Amino acid sequence: MADITAFLSAAADLLGPRGLTRDPELMQSWLTDWRGRYTGQAMALASPASAAEVAALMRLCAEHGVPIVPQGGNSGMSGGATPDATGTAVLLSLRRMNAITRLDAGAREVTCEAGVVLQTLHDAAEAQGLRFPLTLGGKGSATIGGLVSTNAGGTQVLRHGSMRAQVLGLQAVLADGSVFDTLTPLKKDNRGFDLKQVLIGSEGTLGIITAATLRLLPAVAARQVLWVGLGSVAAARELLLMADTLAGEVLEAFEVLPLHSHHAVLAHVPGTRSPLGQDHAWYALIELAADQPRADALPDLAQALLEQGFEAGLIEDATVAVNETQAEQFWTLREEISASERAIGPAMQHDIAVPVARMASFVEHAVPLTEQRFPGTTAIAFGHLGDGNVHYHVIAPPGSERAAWEREEGKQISAFVHDLVTEWGGTISAEHGIGQLKADELVRLADPVQLTMMWAIKQALDPRGLLNPGKLLPTPAASRSALAPAYGGD
């Protein structure tokens, strides 16, 4: 049994008044997730200023058996950074650790503390004529620690890969307070397992990320951003193949959205307007981007793509952004979809992927099937067609009461969608992680061999289950003993 008084007193001595609070008002806004689906309680909010303080706090938690829930920008989509309702955990905010400690323009590397916000990193890289090649709608609040812990994706994975591909080195505090440190990157290193890759995507269940060294690329010298109206998602898939053949590695992004999402953004985001005169069933947002040597070729490439797309009967209408302001406006129409759809009302969101070549067919199959099975709902799919990954939202029938609908029909809808995705050889989490939202579904649908391996790693690194309990790998005794009899801890 934890001696809470002794723990809190030692934590207060360690972190000081700026680093530890129990004030309910100061804690309140961090106890609910971005989607507003989960609200938890915490015994305290800890905001350490350094990796050394995180390590010392973790040692205290280990000594007193206190669970710890790491949190970055709280922009995660799976409730992973929200503690449970018991109030027995410490909520650990990394937001105070927000220094960019090294930016080596020559080596094209940057080392950031975990609390650096993605937009801040973009700005710092840009000031050096460089760029960090990962972005997403939550860039104003998502932190490096959160992005690493969820192996975030976003709109540039098509060309540059997810967060996993950007991390050159990592620093993390483990459950016993020891510090894993590979911040100095090695291009080649074959001393066994790549342990940083085990920590990436572990959602705070194996260690607390305190810093990362990330790769940078030369700044984009020019880009062409195209907004294209299409008759179907199948046409979008054909156009993607065409763009890939024509543009090769300057194809930076290829995003799709249905008319419903476009209307949602136009209705809910002030100042937005449709780039095309008429409505189309589907839209593609295509970006071609190049550094200096290839910049001059971009306008011709964009024109060639549009001409070929029209000739092949794939494109119904299209326009190219005439300047950076308009390019940003096109991107706003894509990046504001999640927030706009949220404003419409209750919906079950699914972050799914199937093999890239099958995604268009999957959407054409799944949307009518879902709406038929759950009358009154509207199913929409938008996002990263080029990665075989769409955000598949099923919007509640008008007038539904959110909590009741999510609990009853919503749950059935998610099981239905996840079953369908599994049948198609896909995944229930392409980029948002499992968190608490999909922990049960992971146990229900994942390959038992993979689950057993994950439990074995969890058992080895966090035998008492202190790191982000209930997330990713659920703790119910039944599933634990069924899957990994060796797992011993709470």
Site string for ligand FAD, 354-393 (x = CB under 6 A): ----------------------------------------
Question: Judged by CB under 6 A, does residue 436 bind ligand FAD?
Answer: no
User: Smallest gap, in angstroms, from Cβ of residue 1 to ligand FAD?
Assistant: 25
Give the type of residue at 313.
Answer: G
Question: Judged by CB under 6 A, does residue 320 bind ligand FAD?
Answer: no
Is residue 14 a contact partner of residue 56, using CB atoms and an 8 Å limit?
A: yes
Q: Which of 75, 378, 429, 459 binds ligand FAD (CB under 6 A)?
A: 75
Q: Which two tokens stand for residue 106?
A: 């020559």
Binding piece for ligand FAD, criterion CB under 6 A, among 152-160, 178-186, 326-334, 362-370: 152-160
Q: Which of 125, 136, 344, 420 binds ligand FAD (CB under 6 A)?
A: 136
CA within 13 Å, CB half, 61: 32
Is residue 47 a contact partner of residue 89, using CB atoms and an 8 Å limit?
A: no
Q: For 261, phi and psi rounded to 5 degrees? A: -70, -35
Residue of 265, 256, 468 whose CA lies nearest to 382: 256
User: Smallest gap, in angstroms, from Cβ of residue 462 to ligand FAD?
Assistant: 12
Starting at the edge strand that comes first in sequence, how are the strands of the sheet with 44-46 ordered?
20-21, 44-46, 90-93, 68-71
User: Smallest gap, in angstroms, from Cβ of residue 262 to ligand FAD?
Assistant: 16
Q: What distance in Å separates the CA atoms of residue 184 and residue 182, rounded to the nearest whole number?
A: 5
Q: Which of 37, 53, 55, 74 binds ligand FAD (CB under 6 A)?
A: 74
Is residue 252 a contact partner of residue 244, using CB atoms and an 8 Å limit?
A: no
User: Smallest gap, in angstroms, from Cβ of residue 34 to ligand FAD?
Assistant: 5
Q: Which of residues 331-350 bind ligand FAD (CB under 6 A)?
A: 338-339
Residue of 298, 400, 396, 281 whose CA lies nearest to 349: 396
Site string for ligand FAD, 4-33 (x = CB under 6 A): ------------------------------
Q: Which two tokens stand for residue 217?
A: 């690329």
User: Smallest gap, in angstroms, from Cβ of residue 469 to ligand FAD?
Assistant: 11
Question: Judged by CB under 6 A, does residue 204 bind ligand FAD?
Answer: yes
Binding piece for ligand FAD, criterion CB under 6 A, among 133-141, 176-184, 226-234, 261-269: 133-141
Q: What is the DSSP string of 23-89?
A: -HHHHHTTSB-TTS--B---SEEE--SSHHHHHHHHHHHHHHT--EEEESSS--SSSTTS--TT--S
Q: What distance in Å separates the CA atoms of residue 449 and residue 112, rounded to the nearest whole number?
A: 35
Nearer CB in complex with ligand FAD: 220/430: 430
Burial 76-93 (b: 16+ CB within 10 A, else e): bbbbbbbbbeeebbbbbb
Q: Which of residues 448-487 bind ligand FAD (CB under 6 A)?
A: 468, 471
Question: Judged by CB under 6 A, does residue 316 bind ligand FAD?
Answer: no
User: Smallest gap, in angstroms, from Cβ of residue 214 to ligand FAD?
Assistant: 13
User: Smallest gap, in angstroms, from Cβ of residue 130 to ligand FAD?
Assistant: 21
- Strand-pair category, 109-113 with 130-131: unpaired
Distance of CA 349 to the CA centre of its chain: 13
Question: Judged by CB under 6 A, does residue 432 bind ligand FAD?
Answer: yes
Nearer CB in complex with ligand FAD: 304/339: 339
Q: Which of 47, 111, 149, 370 binds ligand FAD (CB under 6 A)?
A: 149
Total residues in contact with ligand FAD, by rule CB under 6 A: 39
Element (H, E) at 109: strand 109-113
Give the type of residue at 88.
Answer: T
Q: Which of 53, 341, 431, 462 binds ligand FAD (CB under 6 A)?
A: 431
Q: Which of 154, 275, 309, 469 binds ligand FAD (CB under 6 A)?
A: 154
The footprint of ligand FAD (CB under 6 A) covers 34, 69-77, 80-81, 94, 114, 136-138, 141-143, 145-147, 149-150, 152-154, 203-204, 208-209, 338-339, 431-432, 435, 468, 471
